[in-house]
Amino acid sequence: MRGGIPLYGELCVQGSKNAALPILAASLLHRGISVIHNCPRILDVENTVQILQEAGCLVKWQGSSLMIFAENIQNTRISSKYGTQMRSSVIFLGSLLGRKGNAILPLPGGCTIGKRPIDLHLDSLKRMGARIEEEKEVLYADTEKMKGAKISLRFPSVGATENIILAAVLAKGTTWIQNAAREPEIMELCRFLKEKGAKIKGEGTSVIVIEGVRQLRDSEFFLMSDRIVAGTYLMAAMSAGGEISLKRAPVSQMTAQLQVLEAMGAQMKMEKNKICLKAPKKICRLVSVATHPYPGFPTDLQSQLLAVLCKARGRSKIVETIFEGRYQIVPELRKMGAKIKIVAQEAWIEGVEELTGTTVRACELRGGAALIVAGLGASGVTTIENACFIQRGYEDIGRDLRNLGAAIETS
């Protein structure tokens, strides 16, 4: 890609990856049809579709609509071929235990952004009546019948909250989750399940109550947009300069990131599902921004923000409070001339006049997106190796940015 070209134009934000993945796992809970519209065509979704088909589901794409028929689930073993591709396969524990009373799946490995243990998932499902053993990096789980329980999470884990909900929907009795995650993706999963007849209250707050039901029903669902993809494109415009507008943007879920953009000098106009952003000539520095669970500034946008602040006027600070390994991208940004110092979970960024394009390497999804953000604002050509990581979460970032005038080619 060649940087230094301001972005102008409009694009439509894709469906939410982090809502789609638990919803696809949830479709296993119903012996019938689930149709999900506006489903993003990304690697993680394709991989999850493979897991559904391996379990015995019939799955059919029609454009961005996905039809899942989960009448016969004969196989409750997730092969390592798919299960280790992404950490979110652990979410199938809850839905397979809820539907079939057993599940075998590979222990999801750590990844570059952190150890990412699953103790909260396992402890919670055991409290609901699951027996779970680990042998040679494989989890063996079974139960006579999942039963309701009172669960208090020491951390509002998104995945653990989702796994508990999936296990509780068909369980015997009622489940209470204290200190539940409040992310919009949790609310979207609950909206999907309630449209299928599940009995859930409190989603979006720290206390969620699920009353087990005997069965669910066929449904058709329109998936919400992806707030992290939307934020990524806004950061891209901040880095490259110019003026863009996003259609189908989940504005009400983006308050924290819009406040940060405003503090950096962005001029924005917001309507219900539309954001117009005009980038400032010079990025204002941020004295200090910390990532937090929702509704705080999202950790999934931290690397993209870091890339923008590399050219801010003055010194900025970012504090990453969610994942201990989310500064992997810093050495790559330094190759482009960025001045970043890491002290424990803090990143201190001295703004520079210019970044210079060079060859850099992505090592995970959002860090890869951050390298694109940096390259758009750099002089000269930037080549990103391992860019395939980016396809895990973005349908076609090259196409979208070219439609805004960027000189970017993706292989």
Q: What residues make contact with ligand EPZ under the rule CB under 6 A?
A: 17-18, 21, 87-88, 114, 116-121, 155, 157-160, 185, 299-300, 322-323, 365-366, 393
Both tokens of residue 393? Answer: 């979460």
Shortest Cβ 281–ligand EPZ spacing (Å): 31
Q: Which is nearer to ligand EPZ, 158 or 404 (CB)?
A: 158
Q: Which is nearer to ligand EPZ, 27 or 157 (CB)?
A: 157
Cβ atoms of residues 349 and 370 within 8 Å: no
Those residues with Cβ within 8 angstroms of residue 113's Cβ, 6 or more apart along the chain or in another chain:
323, 325, 326, 328, 364, 366
Q: Is the peptide bond before 108 cis (omega within 30 degrees of 0)?
A: no
Helix 158-168 and helix 184-194: axis angle, to 10°? 10
Cβ atoms of residues 93 and 129 within 8 Å: no
Q: Known catalytic residue: 363?
A: no
Those residues with Cβ within 8 angstroms of residue 377's Cβ, 6 or more apart along the chain or in another chain:
3, 4, 239, 240, 241, 307, 308, 310, 311, 355
Helix 17-26 and helix 43-55: axis angle, to 10°? 0
* CA distance readout (Å), 52 to 16, 27, 161, 167, 410: 19, 9, 21, 17, 29
Both tokens of residue 308? Answer: 């923008």
Cβ atoms of residues 388 and 247 within 8 Å: no
Residue 83 parent element (H or E): helix 80-83
Q: Which is nearer to ligand EPZ, 5 or 125 (CB)?
A: 125
Q: Which is nearer to ligand EPZ, 16 or 382 (CB)?
A: 16
Q: Per the residue annotation, which of 111, 190, 363, 388 is the catalytic one?
A: 111
Q: Which is nearer to ligand EPZ, 185 or 332 (CB)?
A: 185
| Residues with catalytic function | 111
